[in-house]
Amino acid sequence: MIFETKEEYKKVFDEFYNPLCNFAYKIVKREDLAEDIVQEVFVKIWQKKDKITLSSTIKNYLFQSTRNKAIEVLRKNKLESTYLDEKGKIEDVQDDMEEEANNFLLKEKLRRSIRQLPPKCQEIFVLSKMNGLTYIEIAEELNLSVKTVENQIGRGLKLLREMLKKMRSDDEYK
């Protein structure tokens, strides 16, 4: 049995839904189709939860299932030319699937961690690291001193390191 409770299922769904959608999108190149694929994977897993036995981790199972479903959808929709173009990409993705899965999950954890920063710290961090503004540009835009911007970036990096370190130690128990 793959899940003992609905809460376990929901926890897995919450953790993997967005990374799996991004992964499926990389294969099918359509956001709506990628979401449908991931939803179908989760529905099928729930329906067959009593019959599924994992030979590896739930993460690997979900990414492999999503990949297989995406290929099936490409074939079923007769997207022959897209399928042929994507076939090489799919093989590359398969070769690097473990790395890809980890990258998607890490990015999602980073986004989640950034959202947990204090509001002003989050705003300054996003302007600097995501939008590429300099400390001087941020200081001018927010009417702050450059030193305050530097302190907030340092604080944000420290908090993110702590959050990601905690998440990494939590992952070791999965």
| pLDDT tens column, 77-91 | 765 555 556 666 666
pLDDT bin (cut points 50, 70, 90) of residue 21 is: very high
CATH classification number, 116-174, choose in 3.30.450.20, 1.10.230.10, 1.10.10.10, 3.40.470.10: 1.10.10.10
User: Higher model confidence: residue 163 or residue 80?
Assistant: 163
pLDDT (0 to 100) of residue 171:
63
Furthest-apart CA pair in the chain: how many Å?
A: 60
**What pLDDT digit, counting tens, does each position of 37-61 carry?**
999 999 998 888 888 777 778 888 8
Q: What is the pLDDT of residue 85?
A: 61
* Predicted structure pTM score: 0.53
Mean pLDDT over 62-83 rounds to 79
SS (H, E, C) 109-132: HHHHHHHCCCHHHHHHHHHHHHCC
Mean pLDDT for all residues in the chain: 83
Percent of the chain whose predicted confidence (pLDDT) is above 70: 85
Could you tell me the residue ranges of all domains in the chain? 1-114, 116-174
Residue 69 has a pLDDT of 93
Q: Give the up-direction half-sphere exposure of residue 95: CA atoms within 13 A in the CB hemisphere.
A: 6
Residue 29 has pLDDT above 60, yes or no: yes
- With pLDDT > 90 as the criterion, what percentage of the chain qualifies? 33
- DSSP per residue, the chain: ---SSHHHHHHHHHHHHHHHHHHHHHHH--HHHHHHHHHHHHHHHHHTTTT---SS-HHHHHHHHHHHHHHHHHHHTT-HHHHHHHHHHHHHHHHTHHHHHHHHHHHHHHHHHHHTS-HHHHHHHIIIIIT---HHHHHHHHT--HHHHHHHHHHHHHHHHHHHHHHHHHHTT-
Q: CB-based contacts of 121: which residues, under 8 Å, 6+ apart?
A: 152, 155, 156, 159
Section 114-138 average pLDDT: 89
Name the band, by pLDDT with cuts 50, 70 and 90, for residue 165: confident
